[in-house]
Amino acid sequence: MIDELVRAEAAVVSCADAAAWALSERDLIAALDATHRLQQRLAAVQLAVVRELDGRGVALAQGASSTAVWLRERLRLDVSAARRLVGLAASIDVAPPAVRDALASGAVSVEQARVIAETAATVTASAGSEVADKAVGVLVEWARQFDPTLLRKLGTRILDHVAPDLADAAAAAALAAEAARATRDRHVTISEQAGGRLRLSGTLDAEAAALLRAVIDPLSAPAGPDDTRCAGQRRHDALADVCRLALRTGELPENGGDPAQLVVTIDYDGLARQVGGGTLDVGLRLTPDTVRQLACDAAILPAVLGGAGQVLDVGRQRRLVTGPLRRALVLRDGGCAFPGCDRPPRWCAAHHIRHWADGGPTSLDNAVLLCGHHHRHIHQADWLVRLGGNGHPEFVPPAWLDPDQIPRRNHYHQRT
């Protein structure tokens, strides 16, 4: 397989170097069709490899919390794309062979294959594998004409074509399956962007969508004839208002042993100049005006940095890392410090680098933030944790994973 993939890669490289401008319009269209078929065939091979890696537990053996997280690091994918890849590999693996054959032949796209596989699973549950095989054949034919969205809509009534006597009962089963998919696929992703901004994306189930609309719609209405904000800006401001209202209730659960709150970091000189600019504990920069606004609207916990950016050690000698010491730890690590992990501080516990039972102190220099998975992994595996020359954690992998044992650091929470 490796030799064949190397030859295929060489062929693709030669095509990439060819002059597309020299082709006729007819040849350009033929080249587009050929690249699309090749892309789908290669996707079939990739999905088979991903499924085998997932089945063998390679990601867990190498310290990742899941195959999706490992793929994100290995292939430099967005985590949502990595999750889709693992999910698609699993669904194609259990689908009728005709689905894999259609993808491998380039007859269907990856997203069409996903729709066909999910529809086949629903039909199998309600009408059996023989009817599901007929449904797959029809859907593969329809895939020549319809995109994944239309194909999914048509698939909801596929039994009208292949088993009319079972259609009504299967429609109810399909509705239940769709509800189950909505529950499974619900998620919200928060991604950092340049300039301290966040990008929100995700999929809400029907109940959460109704709740969001019930809250956001009245708050995002135009404030009057002079309101120049576009609809998207009004929804943004409405979401911020909802968060402010939630903080004011005082009923949010504690976060790492502290009440839900904003922590703004300023350097000593900025503090001396009466606030100045600041940084939230998640690393986002704030303008002086924003800091002043927050000071009027919420409780601000100042954390003062020294000239070299070192967090002052405000902890005390005790076993549990809470209060000021935990805030200092969050400011330094930003989240789980294990290489490649992007889990935020609220999902993390403080790990003693030199264990408490061995006489290790509870201090900033002897603590590191780790999520639940990596906290367990560090205790069970042969990784070495230490603070590097800049005072930030670094992890030395076991020799079986990296014979050179080159220290690794987490780059997801770095502040720039």
Please name the residues in contact with 247: beta carbons below 8 A apart, sequence gap of 6 or more: 260, 261, 262, 298
Consecutive H or E run containing 187: strand 187-192
**Ranges assigned E (strand) in 353-401:** 367-371, 384-387, 393-396
Contact 158, 119 (CB under 8 A): yes
φ/ψ (deg, to 5) at 303? -125, 115
Tell me the pLDDT band of 159, cut-offs 50, 70 and 90.
confident
| pLDDT score for 314 | 37
Closest among 348, 337, 353 to 408, alpha carbons compared: 337
**Amino acid in the structure at residue 101:** D
**Residue 279, exposed/middle/buried by CB under 10 A (0-12, 13-18, 19+)?**
buried
| Listed range (150-164, 204-218, 400-414) with the worst mean pLDDT | 150-164
Please name the residues in contact with 273: beta carbons below 8 A apart, sequence gap of 6 or more: none
For 281-339, the DSSP string reads TTS-EE-HHHHHHHHHHS-EEEEEE-TTSPBP----S-SS--HHHHHHHHHHH-S--ST
How far is Cα 62 from Cα 397, in angstroms, rounded to an integer? 9
| pLDDT score for 197 | 75
Contact 327, 263 (CB under 8 A): yes
Q: Is 397 left (phi over 0), alpha (psi -120 to 50) or beta?
A: beta
Computed over every residue of the chain, the mean pLDDT equals 79
**Can you read off the two tokens belonging to residue 190?**
């928060």
| pLDDT score for 281 | 61
Please name the residues in contact with 78: beta carbons below 8 A apart, sequence gap of 6 or more: 72, 191
| pLDDT score for 174 | 66
Q: How far is CA 374 from the centre of its chain?
A: 17
**Can you read off the two tokens belonging to residue 32?**
């587009």
| pLDDT score for 124 | 83
Tell me the pLDDT band of 25, cut-offs 50, 70 and 90.
very high
Consecutive H or E run containing 199: strand 198-203
How far is Cα 373 from Cα 351, in angstroms, rounded to an integer? 12
pTM, two decimal places: 0.56
Q: Check whether 306 has a pLDDT greater than 80.
A: no
Q: Check whether 8 has a pLDDT greater than 90.
A: no
**Can you read off the two tokens belonging to residue 15?**
């095509």
- Better-scored residue on pLDDT, 319 or 26: 26
Q: Check whether 302 has a pLDDT greater than 60.
A: no
| pLDDT score for 272 | 47
Q: Write a three-state SS string for 100-153.
A: HHHHHCCCCCHHHHHHHHHHHHHHHHHHCHHHHHHHHHHHHHHCCCCCHHHHHH
pLDDT per position as a tens digit, 167-207: 677 667 667 777 888 888 898 888 877 766 788 889 998 88
How far is Cα 365 from Cα 222, in angstroms, rounded to an integer? 51
Q: Taking each helix axis from N to C terminus, what angle separates 148-155 and 129-142, rounded to the nearest 10 degrees?
A: 140
Q: Could you tell me where the DSSP H helices lie in 186-257?
A: 206-219, 231-249
Domain ranges of the chain: 23-182, 188-249, 262-305, 333-416
**Can you read off the two tokens belonging to residue 356?**
């408490």
Tell me the pLDDT band of 263, cut-offs 50, 70 and 90.
low
Tell me the pLDDT band of 345, cut-offs 50, 70 and 90.
confident
Within 10 angstroms of residue 393's Cβ, the number of other Cβ atoms is 22
Tell me the pLDDT band of 54, cut-offs 50, 70 and 90.
very high
| pLDDT score for 254 | 65
Looking at the chain, the whole-number percentage of residues with pLDDT higher than 70 is 78
| pLDDT score for 300 | 45
Looking at the chain, the whole-number percentage of residues with pLDDT higher than 90 is 12
How far is Cα 266 from Cα 302, in angstroms, rounded to an integer? 7
Tell me the pLDDT band of 299, cut-offs 50, 70 and 90.
very low
Tell me the pLDDT band of 313, cut-offs 50, 70 and 90.
very low
Please tell me the number of Cα atoms within 13 Å of 59 on its side-chain side: 24
Q: Check whether 233 has a pLDDT greater than 50.
A: yes
